[in-house]
Amino acid sequence: MSTFADQTFTPPEQIRNFCIIAHIDHGKSTLADRMLQLTGVVEERAMRAQYLDRMDIERERGITIKAQNVRLPWQVDGRDHVLHLIDTPGHVDFTYEVSRALEACEGAILLVDAAQGIEAQTLANLYLALEKDLHIIPVLNKIDLPAADPDKYAAELAHIIGCDPSEVLRVSAKTGMGVPDLLDEVVRQVPPPVGDADAPARAMIFDSVYDTYRGVVTYIRVVDGKITPRERIRMMSTGATHELLEVGIISPEPKPSAGLGVGEVGYLITGVKDVRQSRVGDTVTSERKGATEPLAGYRDPKPMVFSGLYPVDGSDYPELREALEKLQLNDAALTYEPETSVALGFGFRCGFLGLLHLEITRDRLEREFGLDLIATAPNVEYRVVQDDGTEVMVTNPSDWPTGVKIAEVHEPLSKVTVIAPSEFIGAIMELCQSKRGNLLGMDYLSEDRVELRYNLPLAEIIFDFFDSLKSRTRGYASLDYEEAGTQVADLVKVDILLQGEPVDAFSAIVHKDAAYGYGNKMAGRLRELIPRQQFEVPIQAAVGSRIIARETIRAIRKDVLSKCYGGDISRKRKLLEKQKEGKKRMKNIGRVEVPQEAFVAALSTDEPSGDKGKKK
């Protein structure tokens, strides 16, 4: 069958735009692989597992980070159709990628593992799709597994969606069983796109990437009118105009075409090198006789976790700024602003959607741009109200107001959904209580699976909550969380002092009850990491002017008595007193040398452990 690249425009009634949504490791990318093979857009010899996961980091970790789109030809009842598939991530930190993909679709395949059933992120993605009014096709995957129980989970899925269990399709993405029938159902069930072919052109930017040779490559979904090469276009939010050098489709490699019509998904290249000119959520229209009303666009994502990123070598600061600019084009959920630290020099305060997002971003900056970075301990955003009524937003412990009376501190809350076998209810409740959680409700999805809903402070989730949850439930629990306003909490700032001087990189904002634990842990860790100096160095943890923990790094002691063989004790004492005087004087003028490795090691233990990003 011929490819569609040489056709001018595909009639909207032949187009089906759909995405695959699911929890992590339920088989989205494998199902996309089978679709690519079945439709013939990838030759057998070029085929590889996770074909649409383009980044090395995605392939290594076995997770999807970026939503990828591809155009597939398919025939049903002798009629040609064009399917636009968008493979989406499953991790809670990349929900924003999923929400953008949903805007470009009319239908969604809701994929559930037949051996594990519905998990927390499955529900979160389902509600996102229903919010956007998408047609849902329920599908059970991995029916070839010995542990699969398709009848049980089909009933569970049907109960949640409100359909009959017989309507739940059953496939094996690994073997390809049932996938042709699924594609037929996509054509039959998903409605074709609706738009006015004669109206002024309007296309939604749902993603963009930076290509070193070609500049910004913008991915769009055409809603009205048509877009053709060599015409001039206008970005409606910035007002910038460009000439289109190339318009094309992704099948699954980029292929230039004669234009894109109503409902089609493809890419534009304008040769623009300035990454700020192509904003995700913007509307593209023609410069002459263009549209006056932009499309609705997307809600800007709100960063949940903040961390400082600093180059190990201070001279890499301009490269870091350029790298963040390019990465932000590809990752619209990333925010950053410059900041300085006495200990670490110049860097950026970055906002992320979660800890995995922070870890992946840092990894990409180091791999793709060759940078060597230090990340400070993650924080959330606090609203501090002072006694005189003034409010301060604090994303960094160094911004915490000092020398003033604080009336109250508001911390962000999150609504957490945990789905697990019912035997673990006690362990989960105990963990949530210890993290200052408040139970909202509990529902049984089936006789042996339960859904727990909690309000938890976001700061308690972002450190080790996920690891603790997995270890207490032997890996069976799944977690999803979303924003849920703020609450007043008893929070304090813990400063770490080296020889009486605070080191801003080690400061943290914690709950009053956890202050002693944090101070003790950090002082103990620094005692191990900082090399001994010529003089004694006290490491102290303080809340305001009150010292709550202390460790001491012993001085390197030179053996001044080595040349004394016996003789009068007073001579030895005189030499020791002389050494003591010298050390005291040195201590008055000495500054503590903290090696770069100590910062990295002290802060890295507060970061996510490597397995957080792996498939769960």
Residue 143 marked ligand-binding: yes
Please tell me whether 473 is known to bind a ligand.
Answer: no
Contact in structure between 210 and 182 (CB atoms under 8 Å): no
Q: What is the DSSP letter of 238?
A: T
Helix (H) / strand (E) containing 472: helix 465-472
Nearest-5° Cα angle at 340, 337 to 345: 125
Is residue 379 within 8 Å of 306, Cβ to Cβ? yes
Q: Is 250 annotated as a binding residue?
A: no
Between helix 515-529 and helix 596-604 the angle, nearest 10°, is 140
Can you tell me the distance from the alpha carbon of 218 to that of 332, in angstroms, rounded to the nearest whole number?
13
User: 49 CB contacts (<8 Å, ≥6 apart)?
Assistant: 30, 33
Report the first-to-last Cα separation within the chain, whole angstroms.
Answer: 39
Total Cβ atoms within 10 A of residue 511? 18
Residues 6+ apart with CB under 8 A from 258: 6, 7, 8, 228, 229, 247
Tell me if 159 is assigned to a ligand binding site: no
Contact by Cβ (8 Å): 267, 208: no
208 is in an annotated binding site: no
Determine if residue 26 is labeled as part of a ligand binding site. yes
Tell me phi and psi for residue 214, to 5 degrees.
Answer: -110, -5
Could you give phi then psi for residue 470, rounded to 5 degrees? Answer: -65, -40
Report the sign of the C-alpha dihedral through residues 214, 216, 221, 227, in that order.
negative
φ/ψ of residue 425, rounded to 5: -55, -45
Which tokens go with 41? 């857009």
* CA angle, residues 58, 61, 66, in degrees to nearest 5: 25
Residues 225 and 320: their CA atoms lie apart, in Å, by 40
Instruction: Name 353's Cβ contacts closer than 8 Å, sequence gap at least 6.
Output: 93, 94, 95, 96, 301, 303, 304, 305, 333
* Residue 521 assigned to a binding site: no
Answer yes or no: is 493 a known binding residue: no
Beta bridge partners of residue 205, listed in sequence order: 220
Radius of gyration in angstroms for the set of CA atoms belonging to the chain, rounded to a whole number: 29
Sheet with 68-76, strands from edge to edge, namely 68-76, 79-87, 15-22, 107-113, 135-141, 169-170
Cβ-based neighbours of 429, under 8 Å, separated by 6 or more: 439, 452
Q: What is the rounded CA–CA span in Å between residue 506 and residue 398?
A: 10
Asked if residue 17 lies in contact with residue 107, where contact means CB atoms within 8 angstroms, the answer is yes
Structure tokens given for 378: 């993650």
Q: Spell out the alpha helix ranges (H) of 144-277.
A: 150-161, 179-189
* DSSP run (H or E) holding 266: strand 265-269
Binding annotation for GTP:
25-30, 141-144
Binding annotation:
25-30, 141-144
